[in-house]
A and B are shown apart, each in its own frame.
Chain A
Amino acid sequence: MKELMLTNKAVARGAYEAGVRVLSAYPGTPSTEIAENFVKFDGVYAEWAPNEKVALEVAAGAAVAGGRAMACMKHVGLNVAADPLFTAAYTGVNGGLVIVVADDPGMHSSQNEQDSRFYARSAHIPMLEPSDAQEAKDFVKLAYELSEQFDTPVLLRLTTRVAHSRSLVELCDPDDVKLRPYEKSVTKYTMMPSSAILRHRVVEERDVELANHVNGMDINRAEYNKKSNKIGVVCSGIVYQYVKEALPEASVYKVGTVYPLPIAEITKFANKVQQLYVIEELEPFIERQLKAAGIKCKGKDIFSLQGELSVLTIMEKFNRETPVPEPEKVPGRPPVMCAGCPHRGVFYVLNKLKLTVNGDIGCYTLGAQPPLSAVDTVLCMGASIGMAHGFKKATKGTSNNIAVIGDSTFIHSGITGLINAVYNRSGITLIILDNSTTGMTGHQQHPATGKNLKGEPAPAVLLDELCRACGVKEIDVVDAYDLAEVERVIKKDILSDEVSVIIAQRPCVLLDKSVKPLKTVSDCRNCGKCMKLGCPAIVRGADGVKIDPDQCTGCGICAQVCPFGAIKEGVRQ
């Protein structure tokens, strides 16, 4: 039976069919749906970990214990998990271990467009790259065979257009995979210099074996055009699909193992075509390896290092007679905080107080956009706190800056920054925007929400108690909708020499099912003050502002900023 399936769901299906026992992940676009779909299968264990490092360590533990295991993350998450990754390459596995990493060329929902393929090469871990949902499922199962055969973790790389596309998938029954016995081996699993020196040798030998092995793998294949040998293209992942459509006359070498590359097979292919091209998104990862192996090819001298490729960009480079229609110049529609978002009022106050804001990763990064324009720096998950501390140290405490982070991000990697600020006495103020969910990725649970990945009740980390345990003495818990109170505690705390934490609470408005009376406007003087909130429910005309009753959630923040009391409670129709 075939099913039209999201590729991320197909990865989950592949893991299920491969008998995976343990899956651990931290949400991150475009990888989130793998864990969400895997947990629906009977008899498996899946969890949200507080961050990707923990997720990979959990999966590594499960694999060493003898069960097949998977860790899933977005590309920047692999940076967080890089520490266990490099050494898991040394220990190898027992039950198979697959790490799924989803890159985001074009940055649809990310802060950079790093190319995760380099991790495979520098950690000496094989990496497979599927090009649609069926391949994703097949490659997952193959990855477990490879992992156990060569005693190595295996990386599976997706990109946004693969992860978030749907295509037909043939379903199979799950394999009956038994738990392998665990045998103590200090030289294999206890990585200290004496054993790691031996394991490093094993890794290098394995790399050579794998480099030979991949030449005989079916997922690396040449597709020759029998009529012409003019153009040969080496490609993998989504680019393969684009090339098949853009260049029907080309011979194509489809790479399934982007590391190690099937160099011998590609050499044969290169010898059969007149001009060889490597078409790949982001870095010249394949191209440089081919050139190092003495294979002549063109690549990044024609194609960009940045952003996504498409059928059209490939056709253009090969001078196809394709009229490229120009897009019309129309006003942009950037993403915005939802009407009723509890973050809005906090950023309004921060902007009003003209503070330098060290921001973080989440929906609240949108606080940087006009008209709120309240965020100065965003670097990576958890960086708000470390950067705020650095600001204070560089300016000898004179800077007017404040850190802002979400609840899920604080748990992910903010806690250590806070401990550092307390320990090294920078006197920063931190606002935790606690909306009781991981918002941007689509409302996932985390250790402070009181529920687990399955939605079952779970012990909840209490954020105020946690901050207290880190040594913070000044802690205020406020209602994020109460602007006067938010302003009062911020003004109080930024004058303090001690580290202080403000926890601004309100559940994400998309999850809040309570119905509040909507707001209406009467006798508007059109001063425009409420327009500084950037609320999509408020629209300004020549005769004043109007509130869209379909969008208004009744949060009441606009009524608090109106200096003339023109915004009042209305009646929901």
Chain B
Amino acid sequence: MNILIAGVGGQGTLLTSKVLGRYAELCGKDCKLSEVHGMSQRGGSVTTHVRIGDKVHSPVIWPGGADMIIAFEVLEAARVKHFLKPDGILLVNDVRILPMPCITGAAAYPSGIKEKLLEQINGAFFIDAAAIAHEAGNVKSANVVMLGALCKLFGFDKEKMAQAVTDCVPEKFRALNSKAFELGYERVK
């Protein structure tokens, strides 16, 4: 099972992949993660790769090889959608962050990405994770909201995933993140 996480540097893709890695451990599966450090983290496009199975070789997912994509931003969803398998699930945080070429006017932020993705991909879902995270108590828990939603959409073992979230966040944020996880699970459709 291959899960690609795409976002903008600083959005918390790393925690999301760590939770999925912990989930794999709880399920007794082999798992490899691949992440990006250094220059790309400074507000650039970042992807984190999660692969879970009986035996995993490559830590990196290839185009056409992802069962699931979690995109933390709409343009980033469009950028990595070719990684998705034909029947895969694309879960998108319904938020737009302008990249520098769009800020300077060198390029325009494409319009209608959401509509196009919904039309092209049967398994495409959008969720306002920021608003739900705000409701849970902190905007920064948006990544955990996304995990809750993914858990529901793909049918992961909910108890184990909730446990994985608890295991990966600092003690003082556990209640907040459990709530964010539950809300994400309930609200996605």
Using a CB–CB cutoff of 8 Å, the interface residues on chain A facing chain B are 2, 4, 29-30, 32-33, 108-109, 132, 161, 164-168, 238, 241-242, 244-245, 310-312, 322-328, 330-338, 363, 366, 369-371, 440-442, 531, 534, 536, 538-540, 550
Question: Is the beta-carbon distance between A241 and B44 smaller than 8 angstroms?
Answer: no
CB distance from B101 to the nearest CB of A (A): 5
Q: Does B175 contact A (CB under 8 A)?
A: no
Question: Is the beta-carbon distance between A366 and B110 smaller than 8 angstroms?
Answer: no
Q: Which A residue's beta carbon lies closest to that of B33?
A: A166
Could you pull out 28 A-B pairs where Cβ atoms are within 8 angstroms? A2-B25, A30-B37, A30-B38, A108-B39, A109-B37, A165-B59, A165-B60, A166-B31, A166-B59, A167-B33, A238-B59, A311-B65, A312-B64, A323-B64, A330-B79, A332-B101, A332-B107, A333-B45, A333-B100, A334-B100, A335-B44, A337-B42, A370-B104, A371-B104, A440-B39, A441-B38, A531-B103, A534-B104
Question: Is the beta-carbon distance between A539 and B103 smaller than 8 angstroms?
Answer: yes
Question: Is the beta-carbon distance between B57 and A242 smaller than 8 angstroms?
Answer: yes
Question: Is the beta-carbon distance between A29 and B44 smaller than 8 angstroms?
Answer: no
Q: Does B105 contact A (CB under 8 A)?
A: yes
Q: Which A residue's beta carbon lies closest to that of B83?
A: A325
Question: Is the beta-carbon distance between B57 and A326 smaller than 8 angstroms?
Answer: no
Q: Does B148 contact A (CB under 8 A)?
A: no
Question: Is the beta-carbon distance between A4 and B22 smaller than 8 angstroms?
Answer: yes
Q: When A4-B33, A109-B39, A165-B35 are in contact, do A333 and B99 touch as well, CB less than 8 Å? A: yes
In the bound assembly, the distance between CA atoms of A161 and B32 in angstroms comes to: 11
In the bound assembly, the distance between CA atoms of A161 and B61 in angstroms comes to: 12
Question: Is the beta-carbon distance between A245 and B57 smaller than 8 angstroms?
Answer: yes
Which DSSP category, helix, strand, loop or mixed, fits chain A's interface? loop
Question: Is the beta-carbon distance between A338 and B42 smaller than 8 angstroms?
Answer: yes
Question: Is the beta-carbon distance between B44 and A164 smaller than 8 angstroms?
Answer: no
Q: Does B108 contact A (CB under 8 A)?
A: yes
4 further interface pairs, Cβ-Cβ under 8 Å (given A161-B59, A334-B100): A165-B32, A312-B65, A323-B64, A333-B76
CB distance from B74 to the nearest CB of A (A): 10
Question: Is the beta-carbon distance between A161 and B60 smaller than 8 angstroms?
Answer: yes
Question: Is the beta-carbon distance between A331 and B37 smaller than 8 angstroms?
Answer: no
Q: When A164-B36, A241-B59, A336-B42 are in contact, do A369 and B100 touch as well, CB less than 8 Å? A: yes
Q: What chain A residues lie within 8 Å of B102 (beta carbons)? A: 331
Q: What chain A residues lie within 8 Å of B41 (beta carbons)? A: 335, 442
Q: Does B98 contact A (CB under 8 A)?
A: yes
In the bound assembly, the distance between CA atoms of A167 and B42 in angstroms comes to: 25
Q: What chain B residues lie within 8 Å of A324 (beta carbons)? A: 63-64
Question: Is the beta-carbon distance between B39 and A331 smaller than 8 angstroms?
Answer: no
Taking CB atoms and an 8 Å cut-off, the chain B residues in 113-142 that contact chain A are 139
CB distance from B133 to the nearest CB of A (A): 12
Q: What chain B residues lie within 8 Å of A323 (beta carbons)? A: 64
